[in-house]
Amino acid sequence: MTKKAVGNAGKVYKKYTEEFRRDAVRMIESEGLTTAEAGRRLGVNANLLRKWRQTYGKKSETQAAQSDLEAEVRRLRDENRRLLMEREILKKAAAFFANEKN
């Protein structure tokens, strides 16, 4: 769950595992707790839980839609690039065969 680590100026602080962080965020989101309530239950600072929630929490609907749109744009650009290459190849092939007939 946690490890002790020494920071600047010799201050000892807890280092939480990623699994613990994800579980804490899941608990907040599934039980509908505030970060302060979850912090008291877990013995973790509420501000730290807020940061974890930003990192590991569910994306908002707008963020999810944004990432879906970005993925679609990437896919369409790749497809467009492929189709442009195919068109150039076909143009060269048509020119080659047209010259062969003459």
Residues 20 and 65 occupy one common structural domain: no
55-67 confidence digits (pLDDT tens): 888 765 677 788 8
pLDDT beyond 70 at 2: no
Residues 23 and 53 occupy one common structural domain: yes
Give how many domains the chain has, as a whole number: 2
Would you report the helix, strand and coil content of the chain in percent, each value rounded to 5? 75, 10, 15
39-92 confidence digits (pLDDT tens): 999 999 999 999 998 888 876 567 778 888 999 999 999 999 999 999 999 999
Residues 19 and 44 occupy one common structural domain: yes
Q: How far, in Å, CA of 99 to CA of 95, rounded?
A: 6
Any idea what the CATH number is for the domain that residue 35 is in? 1.10.10
Residues 79 and 93 occupy one common structural domain: yes
Residues 47 and 2 occupy one common structural domain: yes
Q: How far, in Å, CA of 12 to CA of 31, rounded?
A: 31
Domain encompassing residue 101: 59-102
